[in-house]
Each structure stands twice: as structure tokens, then as C-alpha cells.
Amino acid sequence: MTGVFLAIVPAAIWLVFFYLQDRAEPEPKGFVLGVFALGALLAAGVGIPLVNNVFRTSHWIYTDTLTTILGGILVVGFTQEFLKYAAVRYSIYNSGEFDEPTDGVIYATAAGLGYATVLNIQFVVSNGGVDLGAGVIRIAVVALAQAAFSGITGYFLGRAKFESEQIWWMPLGITLAAIFNGIFNWLQGIVTQPRITLSGTTTNTWMGLVLASAVALATTGLILWLVRRNLKSMQAGK
């Protein structure tokens, strides 16, 4: 139970952070939590079974570097990012509450954090608990990374609704998010791979957290800056 609680905490913290970015016209909390729950349901009902039981990625994805990258992008990345996109596009997207480009980032991040929460709960349950050191760090890494990738999709969603973008715009956004997803997971595997020392085998989990934090902060900062710049351009054009 402690592990499940810890699996929820990072997502809750990030959700509050992103919610506070929309101070001018905050979204209804119920809608944000609803999209969070929908992201979690899609992860549990579609995403995880598809990746683990249909594609059976654990049996082949770490065969070699090229397979790890391509599998991470084309299978894991596209599955996760499309489902997080769907959680927003086919729920709140056409609502009157989705009334500015920033909302795309807020709702997509909520869906991504819901997805991350289920991934973390699955990790805790499948391991019979969680180590308060390496396990907690892994949970934080998943929440940070999923939030960052969802923010990319959210930015494209916001632009797609309020600007006359080409038909390829949204597929491009999902593709970019999937590429970031796959490459991040590959890099994380490199920086956290076990090392043999005189005292035994060690796993540098802290480097994974550093990588995830850097990716999340850089991606989030860029996305929020782009959204606010677009808002200023739209207001100036009125």
C-alpha cells in the first residue's frame, strides 16, 4: 500500500504544478481529474495489455540498440502517446472549457500523468512492493517523463483547435512525442545500466532521475514559452 501511495504522489505534484500554470482562467478541477482518470483507464485497459501481451516487448525490445530505439518509438512510444492524445481529443477537446491553447497542455499533461500513475502502480504490484530508494526514483522518473511527452502533444492539440493548421499537424505532434519517448527510454537504459564494482553490482538510478528532470524541465519550459508566445500573437491580431 505504501508503494501504491508513492506511485501516486509524483503525478499529483506535477498535476498541481501544471494546473497552476493556467492562473488566468483555470480549468474546472473535475474536468482535469476526469481526463487524468481517462488516461489511467486507457493505460490499464489498452496501453499496457497491448504493449505487454500483444507486442510482448519484454521478449525482444532490448535485443540491440537499434531494436531498442525503434521498438521504443514505433511500439511503446506511439501506443502511449496516441492513447494520451485520444484521452483529450475524444473527451474535453470539443467542450467549451477547452477555450485557449494552454488548455491543450493542461489536459494532455493530466492524461499523461494518469497514464504514468498506472505504469507505476503496475511496477509496484509486479515487484511485490517498492524499494524506498531505487523504486521511488523510478516512479518519479516515469511521472516526469510522461508529463513532458504529453506536453508536446498538448501543445499541438491547442494549436490544432485554435489555429488553421494543416492536416499533418497533429500526426506530427504525436510522432514527435513518440520519438522523444523512445529515445528517452533508450538513454535512460544507458545511464542507469548496472555497473560491476568490487563491492558488487550497482545501478545508478540517480542518473536516471537527473536525465528525466533535465528533459522534463527543458521540454516543459519550451512548451509553456511557445504557448504564451502564441497567445500574445493571437491577442495582438484581434
The residue among 210 and 166 whose pLDDT is bigger is 166
CA 124 vs. chain centroid, Å, equals: 18
Alpha-carbon gap, residue 145 to 5, rounded angstroms: 19
Cβ neighbours of residue 41 closer than 8 Å, sequence gap 6 or more: 114
Total domain count for the chain?
Answer: 1
Query: How many helical (H) and strand (E) elements, i.e. helices and strands, does the chain have?
Result: 9, 2
Give me 151's grid cell: 506536453
pLDDT in tens, 176-206: 999 999 999 998 888 776 555 444 445 567 6
Residues spanned by the domain of 232: 2-237
Contact 105, 223 (CB under 8 A): yes
Name residue 116's amino acid: A
Q: Which of 105-114, 137-146, 153-162 has the lowest mean pLDDT?
A: 137-146
pLDDT in tens, 110-131: 999 999 999 988 888 887 766 6
Alpha-carbon gap, residue 124 to 41, rounded angstroms: 17
